[in-house]
């Protein structure tokens, strides 16, 4: 029987939403493994909009759900509609949207909060003992989802790792093509573009993360 996996997106574009390669690689691997996938995103405004060509902030506003629908080819739902009993696992790709739209980690660091609808959905998976995968910078949410002692990785960046440690997480350094598994909590994390220099490097870790999440489910 195929596993049902919820994927939370945070917009569309590395600098202000979901990292596109990470998102597509996640969805591709889930499809290759025969999983049924439903994408979600919070129905909320982005922190800001970045011109990905010039790298500059644009004077306009966009909605996270509407932008994330680009990645999901329109097949996406408001995260408030998500019900943990409908799924076997949850995965969050990275990109600055995880630190700007799913949380305010990019602004508040260790004092960050998680978007309430995203936090409620993710914590439901934690309470149900269902596996969760957090990619790239998304492990910044781990301590808020699971509480102190959760084991995770963002790669080896000392400042980011220190912020996660201050939040109560136990950070482990990790190579780009590897994963860190908190077996007690069924949490799987991988650095992806926190370390990757190419889409191929990114794929190695994401494929392992998806495979392990499905195994734990």
> How far is it, in rounded angstroms, from Cα 129 to Cα 197?
34
Q: Residue 117: phi, psi to the nearest 5?
A: -70, -40
Candidate list 12, 112, 136, 174, residue with the active-site label: 136
How far is 178 from 157, CA to CA, in rounded Å?
Answer: 15
Active site residue 112: no
Distances from the Cα of 6 to the Cα of 30, 58, 81, 162, 201, angstroms: 11, 31, 11, 29, 24
Task: Give buried/exposed letters for 98-135 (b at 16+ CB in 10 A, else e).
Answer: bbbbbbbbbeebeebebbebbbebbbbbbeeebbbbbb
The helix-helix angle for 64-71 and 20-32 (nearest 10°) equals 50
Do residues 177 and 196 lie in contact, with contact meaning Cβ atoms separated by under 8 Å?
no
Burial class of residue 7 (count of CB atoms within 10 Å of its CB; 0-12, 13-18, 19+):
buried
Catalytic positions are 136
């Amino acid at each position: 029987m195929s596993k049902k996996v919820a994927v939370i997106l945070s917009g569309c574009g590395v600098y202000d939403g979901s990292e596109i390669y990470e998102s597509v690689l996640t969805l591709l691997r889930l499809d290759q493994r025969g999983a049924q996938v439903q994408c979600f995103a919070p129905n909320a405004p982005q922190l800001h909009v970045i011109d990905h060509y010039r790298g500059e902030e644009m004077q306009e506003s966009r909605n996270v759900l509407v932008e994330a629908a680009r990645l999901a080819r329109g097949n996406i739902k408001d995260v408030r509609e998500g019900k943990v009993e409908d799924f076997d696992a949850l995965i969050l790709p990275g990109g600055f949207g995880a630190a700007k739209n799913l949380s305010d980690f990019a602004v508040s660091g260790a004092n960050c909060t998680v978007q309430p609808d995203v936090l409620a959905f993710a914590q439901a998976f934690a309470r149900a003992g269902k596996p969760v995968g957090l990619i790239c910078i998304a492990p910044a949410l781990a301590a808020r989802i699971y509480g102190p002692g959760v084991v995770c990785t963002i790669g080896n960046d000392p400042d980011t790792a220190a912020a996660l440690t201050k939040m109560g997480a136990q950070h482990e350094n990790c190579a780009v093509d590897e994963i860190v598994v908190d077996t007690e909590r069924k949490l799987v994390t991988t650095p992806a573009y926190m370390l990757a220099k190419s889409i191929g490097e990114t794929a190695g870790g994401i494929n392992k993360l998806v495979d392990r999440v499905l195994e734990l489910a």
